Amino acid sequence: MKKQTHTLLKNIFGYETFRPLQEEIIDRTIEGKDSFVLMPTGGGKSMCFQIPALIFDGITIVVSPLISLMKDQVQALKANGIKADFFNSSITPEKENTVIDKALKGELQLLYLSPEKLISVSNTWLKELNIKLVAIDEAHCVSMWGHDFRPEYTQLKTFRNSLPSVPFMALTATADKSARKDIEAQLGLKNSKLFISSFDRKNLSIEVRGQVTKKKKLQEIVNFIERRKNESGIIYCLSRKNTEEVADYLKDLRHSVAFYHAGMNPEERERVQTEFINDDTKIIVATIAFGMGIDKSNVRFVIHYNLPKNLEGYYQEIGRSGRDGLAAETLLYYNMRDFVLYSQFADGGANTAMQKEKLNRMLQFAEAKSCRRKILLSYFGEHLAQDCGNCDVCENPPKGFEGTILTQKALSGIARMGEKEGITMLINVLRGSNNADIHAKQFFNLKTYGIGKDVSFYDWRDYVIQMANQGLIEIMYSESSALKISPIGWKVLKGEKNIQLTTPLSSEDKKKKQKVVKVVAEGEINTDLFTELKKIRYFISREENVPAYIIFNDKSLKLMASQLPVSENEFLAISGVGMNKMEQYGEEFMKVIRRFKSIEKPRKTPTTIETFNLYKEGLTPAEIAKKRGLSITTIFSHLSQLYIEGKEVELDNYITKEVVSKVGIAFNELGRKMELKPIYEKLNEKISYGEIRLGIALILKNE
């Protein structure tokens, strides 16, 4: 059996080894037993039921509440040559009939259903199926203890009882101890075994920046994304208004960006989401409404523009990056204002005490001065033996020092201004600034005026926040953010208590750190080739109308760009390349790799751009072909690709409307597959391959 599962992993999915626990879960399922799988997002849960589904001689039912995710998963399975389909409220009655038909004829290995559809058909055609396995994804939805309760899920138990000898598998990424028990009971799992994999996502770097002004924050974000050109990322904001503001700001700077929030109509949300998944939009600025139904593997960064409400949400949100296992970066901004705002929200709602407690934990995490991953994982009940080395604290351990005198200076400043002034005035007075406000209030007469000249404004700011975090100062948001001294603060002022402070990160340190991160992230791949491969992937994905990462994920492309496979065997050795993908796409990708390796190795400009440059000089396709020693078909294919990418190319000059519509009909009749030969044959070999390319490009771009 082991051999068979391993062969499937390699031949169908193109992976060399199982991840921890996958093999055990698969074996247990094949034996017909129930399992409970708790793994983080991106941990590889789906594989646990997909391989048994391929082994069983019958159908596997997958229940999932996330309709958009279902389509993606089915597309991904199909790309690997697996017979799968889905059944939910998004499909037409005709499509429903086709799916039912296929299922009844035994032509499906996996069928994905939303819980409400499952319930509505459980007494009709579903009963006729030869069900061998049932997987309940997002199983936490059955528990009222969780944060995402869905009433339809509670009816799954009846379904379970109707199939007493079929193995059931519950899968989720979030469930604490009490929720786990509840889920098992609610779903009626029998003697199920719990499998918990580590929640550590080592490839995600963690960074937190506190108390940054809005202007600076936006500037930092711009710098951040400019250093990561063409990479996908999500920026989470607290409010809808914020998402629009930040997106507009970035759009003005010509970034590929869109906003997303629950106030938009469903069609628009769907469009924004699809464009992001297809890599047509690089950055999404969104409220936390975004992301649930998204399984995009190449999200390279997640930025939190505001403090999240709790660590569960935060971990889930950052977990949407780096699902392909490659390095991804996460950056959290917070300030006390977010915290106060959330506390006020919590006051009005249900479960106030619990929500506030969770919010406090979130803040403690943000303010922590020790390894952040350790804190995060210990919150989820997992203990790291060593510091992670991939968070901001590990990279720049804070230097502590005896800060009692510095603290006394600040506290005494606050006291002498009658606890009526805010942080900016305090620092200006300590530093002996000479501005109108200070004059008006005659603060230059204070004893504390100028006693902190030797410390920069930003460092003072950092220290005062540390004092607030240590409970020495209270920031009164209700009184224009005036600073007040707490009872412990008074003790420090009287010399009854000593205080440790940490040295703020200087901007120099930050710069150094960014350099290090960049080197690690890029590795040794050939970026020109990688860009080329991404282009082909994009082109194919448009032609086949599936998200780009379903063709190959970034990790596979990067491996191609570093290992340069040019034979079938070498290509199959790339992680993520199974038989089916090899057959479908291998040649197209290897062609580029071969060209890259041999003839055009010293070439700097991508081949399509060379064509584009000649085109702009006014050469005809035939002249370009001659000059470049390439076939005219290749030139037409370049021009089509350039056109799809949005370059100014007039394809209509080379093809008549009549030919376009002929190609269109054949293309549609053949299921919109981008295999040129069948189209060529269907059109009685009367229309050239080059024209077929052009025709398809025009159809795809203009529909």
Asked if 41 is part of the footprint of ligand ADP (rule: CB under 6 A), the reply reads yes
- C-alpha distances out from residue 296 to 95, 274, 319, 453, 685, Å: 26, 10, 11, 51, 39
Give min distance, CB of 317 to ligand ADP, in A. Answer: 14
Give min distance, CB of 565 to ligand ADP, in A. Answer: 17
Among Zn ion, ligand ADP, none, the one that 47 touches (CB under a kind-dependent 5 to 8 A) is: ligand ADP
Question: Which residue's CB is nearer to ligand ADP, number 417 or number 533?
Answer: 533
8: left (phi over 0), alpha (psi -120 to 50) or beta: alpha
**How buried is 652 (Cβ within 10 angstroms: 0-12 exposed, 13-18 middle, 19+ buried)?**
exposed
Contacts with Zn ion: how many residues (CB under 5 A)? 6
Asked if 71 is part of the footprint of ligand ADP (rule: CB under 6 A), the reply reads no
Question: Which residue's CB is nearer to Zn ion, number 200 or number 280?
Answer: 200
Among Zn ion, ligand ADP, none, the one that 376 touches (CB under a kind-dependent 5 to 8 A) is: none
- Residue 321's nearest CA partner among 296, 358, 338 is 296
Among ligand ADP, Zn ion, none, the one that 39 touches (CB under a kind-dependent 5 to 8 A) is: ligand ADP
Give min distance, CB of 178 to ligand ADP, in A. Answer: 22
Per CB under 6 A, which of residues 13..32 are in contact with ligand ADP? 15, 18-19, 22
Question: Which residue's CB is nearer to ligand ADP, number 24 or number 245?
Answer: 24
208 membership: H or E segment, kind and range: strand 204-210
Asked if 391 is part of the footprint of Zn ion (rule: CB under 5 A), the reply reads yes
- Residue 580's nearest CA partner among 3, 10, 59, 6 is 10
Residue 408, CB half-sphere, CA atoms under 13 Å: how many? 13
Helix (H, G, I), strand (E, B) or coil at 327: coil
Query: 8, 38, 39, 644: which one contacts ligand ADP (CB under 6 A)?
Result: 39
**Which residues, 6+ apart, have CB-to-CB distance to 583 below 8 Å?**
none
Give min distance, CB of 579 to ligand ADP, in A. Answer: 15
Edge-to-edge order in the sheet of strand 328-334: 204-210, 328-334, 299-304, 232-236, 283-286, 257-260
Question: How many angstroms separate the CA atoms of 360 and 370, rounded?
Answer: 17
Write the binding mask 240 to 279 for ligand ADP: x where contact by CB under 6 A, - elsewhere.
Answer: ----------------------------------------
Contacts with ligand ADP: how many residues (CB under 6 A)? 16
From start to end of 42-109, where are the E strands? 59-63, 84-87
Asked if 394 is part of the footprint of Zn ion (rule: CB under 5 A), the reply reads yes
Asked if 115 is part of the footprint of ligand ADP (rule: CB under 6 A), the reply reads no
Query: 388, 427, 687, 694: which one contacts Zn ion (CB under 5 A)?
Result: 388
Query: 297, 316, 390, 408: which one contacts ligand ADP (CB under 6 A)?
Result: 297
- Residue 193's nearest CA partner among 32, 402, 406, 398 is 32
Asked if 323 is part of the footprint of ligand ADP (rule: CB under 6 A), the reply reads yes
Stretch that binds Zn ion, among 28-36, 154-162, 389-397, 532-540 (CB under 5 A): 389-397
Asked if 359 is part of the footprint of Zn ion (rule: CB under 5 A), the reply reads no
CB atoms within 10 A of CB 421: 21
Stretch that binds ligand ADP, among 34-42, 328-336, 477-485, 556-564 (CB under 6 A): 34-42
Q: CA geometry: angle at 389 spanning 324 and 292, to 5°?
A: 35
Helix pair 527-544, 632-644: axis angle to 10 deg = 80
Alpha helices by DSSP H, 504-600? 507-522, 527-544, 548-551, 554-563, 568-572, 579-597
Give min distance, CB of 335 to ligand ADP, in A. Answer: 32
**Which residues, 6+ apart, have CB-to-CB distance to 372 below 8 Å?**
206, 208, 365, 388, 391, 392, 393, 394
Asked if 42 is part of the footprint of ligand ADP (rule: CB under 6 A), the reply reads yes
Query: Residues in the site for ligand ADP, rule: CB under 6 A?
Result: 15, 18-19, 22, 39, 41-47, 295, 297, 323, 553
Query: Residues in the site for Zn ion, rule: CB under 5 A?
Result: 371, 373, 387-388, 391, 394
